[in-house]
Structure 1
Amino acid sequence: MAESKEEQFLDDIEQAEAEEQSVIFDDVVDTPEDEIEQLRAERDALQDKFMRALAEAENARKRAQKDRMEAENYGGTKLSRDLLPVFDNMKRAVDSVTEEQREAAGALIEGIELTMRELINVFNKHGIRMINPEVGDKFDPQEHEAMFEAPVPGTKAGEIIQVSAQGFMLHDRILRPAQVGVSSNPG
């Protein structure tokens, strides 16, 4: 059974302490050279113990810093995902407005557009960026999700032929891939 680094470290400390005790309580000291050798051994054991404790403290500090950075960058992932449908609905509302509706309820529609822009600004402030593919772009499975494939004349296989929904990234992680239709034309 493999021991963890922490268990190995604790075993090493116990062994060093046992050796230290045997050096300290060894009542047979024949010559001054033996006493000097025992003191050197004790010093080396204590120095080794100190260096191991120092290395472990540094590793713990680095782990804590990494955990803090990840929590800071990705702690709001769930909330961010929950806000994406709000953006989608607002975008659909703005996209569905006709010119007649815009003339009749211009202030209301302008308010929706301003709210949507503010939501995008908040997303940008917190490291959320939009993945906004265009028709004709090459399909990228890292950022896009193919919702369907269809043979469309004049396109190449793997080209985006329709964008159903924008995708979003939180720093370097995908929150939601862009939903697209892809051409399946051969050659």
Structure 2
Amino acid sequence: MSASTDQNENQIPEDNQPENESIDVAAESLVEPGLDQQLEEAQAKVAQYYDQLLRAKAEMENIRRRADEEVSKARKFGTESFAESLLPVRDSLEAALAQEEQTLEAFREGIETTLRQLDNAFTRNQLKEVAPQAGDKFDPHLHQAISTVPSDQAEGTVAMALQKGYVLADRVLRPALVMVSAGQPA
């Protein structure tokens, strides 16, 4: 009896089956007729946006790669202009050394000419000299104080310049070495 009872429990009454089919039909009738089209349009937009995202990502990667290449080239060839402007200076120095016999006056004139060439090369490449004079205000951005000394100059000013400094396009390459005035001796 228990076997027949189990069989009866697993069977769905036939009168319930049409009821389930009618629920499915009712659910389908509740769905708006344009939802399938809206779903397809939304999926097409998602695909379009995804494609745009992938293209933008690839473009950003290309921009990053090009920027890295430009930085690498700038590092590699950044001094090219400066080096080219120094070549005539080297040529002049070699020519001066090649002269066997020359007077002190001619030698001095050659050195002055070579120094002008070097100054022109510095100017073309935005390399400026920092040469403070006694009495100039001490600037810690451009000057390096070696010591303070009693002096006739006002306190906190340059008492003496020991070595010129240089600035390349507003960046200090070498600060000027100075002695700073501590004011009048007591």
Would you call these one fold, judging by a TM-score over 0.5?
Answer: yes
Conservation of the 8 A alpha-carbon contact between 2:134 and 2:153: no
In structure 2, the partner of 1:185 is 183
Name the TM-score, length of structure 2 as normaliser: 0.58
Q: Distance in 1 between matches of 2:180 and 2:121?
A: 31
State how many pairs are aligned. 131
Report the equivalent of 2:96: none
Cα offset, 1:36, TM superposition: 2.7
The separation in 2 between residues aligned to 1:33 and 1:145, in whole angstroms, is 74
Match of 1:36 in 2: 41
Cα distance, 1:122 vs structure 2: 1.5
Consecutive unaligned residues of structure 1, counting only runs of 5 or more, are 1-29, 84-103
Matched with 2:164 is 166
**Any residues of structure 2 matched to 1:72-111 within 5 Å, and which?**
75-76=78-79, 105-111=104-110
> How large is the Cα RMSD of the aligned pairs?
3.1
TM-score (norm 1): 0.57
Structure number with bigger Rg: 2
1:52-84 deviation digits (Å, cap 9, x = unpaired): 333443455456556655666xx439x99xx9x
Question: Following the alignment from structure 2 to structure 1, what is the Cα–Cα distance between the partners of residues 38 and 111?
Answer: 88
Identical counterparts, % of pairs = 31
Task: Classify the secondary structure of the residue corresponding to 1:168.
Answer: strand
Counting only pairs closer than 5 Å after superposition, residues 89-168 of structure 1 correspond to structure 2 as 105-152=104-151, 154-168=152-166
Cα deviations by residue, 1:147-182 (Å, 9 ceiling, x for unpaired): 221011x32221111111111112122111111111
Structure 2, unpaired ranges of 5+: 1-34, 87-102
